[in-house]
């Protein structure tokens, strides 16, 4: 059912927990399945320097969160805003159709975090 990469990221997730010094946080959820994903980003000079997550959910949700934090580190804010859930699915070696929504949560969490970051930047000026 799940690829080896999904199992690996679920069993040994990367970048778990609150990120000290995070200046962008996004939280999204899926009412249908109950998954909740919170993404923490540390952005400096419009580049994502670090990322972490806290996710309450299934194997696919945790694996999607883990691989996403690996993938977005080093991206510019503009690059991250173009990040698509298909990238997560590919990086994990695929997801069952019923679990693709977990990769969508990751995409949405990034966009929400960056939106919150930009609102904070506008307020600071």
Q: Which residues are designated catalytic? A: 33, 102
DSSP string, 52-112: EEEEES-HHHHHHHHHHHHHHTT-BHHHHHT--HHHHHHHTT---GGGHHHHHHHHHHHHH
Please state, in angstroms and rounded to a whole number, the distance separating the CA atoms of residues 24 and 48.
10
Contact status, residue 103 vs residue 62, Cβ threshold 8 Å: no
Please state, in angstroms and rounded to a whole number, the distance separating the CA atoms of residues 105 and 125.
30
Please state, in angstroms and rounded to a whole number, the distance separating the CA atoms of residues 107 and 44.
20
Torsion angles phi and psi, residue 83, rounded to 5: -60, 135
């Amino acid at each position: 059912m799940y690829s080896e990469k999904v199992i690996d990221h679920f069993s040994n997730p990367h970048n778990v927990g609150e990120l000290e010094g995070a200046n962008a946080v996004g939280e999204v959820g899926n009412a249908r399945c109950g998954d909740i994903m919170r993404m923490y980003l540390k952005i400096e000079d419009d580049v994502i320097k670090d990322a972490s997550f806290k996710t309450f959910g299934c194997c696919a949700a945790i694996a999607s969160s883990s691989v996403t934090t690996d993938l977005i580190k080093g991206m510019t804010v503009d690059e991250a805003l173009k990040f698509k859930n298909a990238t997560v699915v590919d990086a994990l070696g695929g997801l069952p159709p019923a679990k693709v929504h977990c990769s969508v949560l990751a995409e949405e969490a990034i966009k929400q975090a960056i939106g919150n970051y930009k609102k904070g930047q506008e307020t600071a000026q």
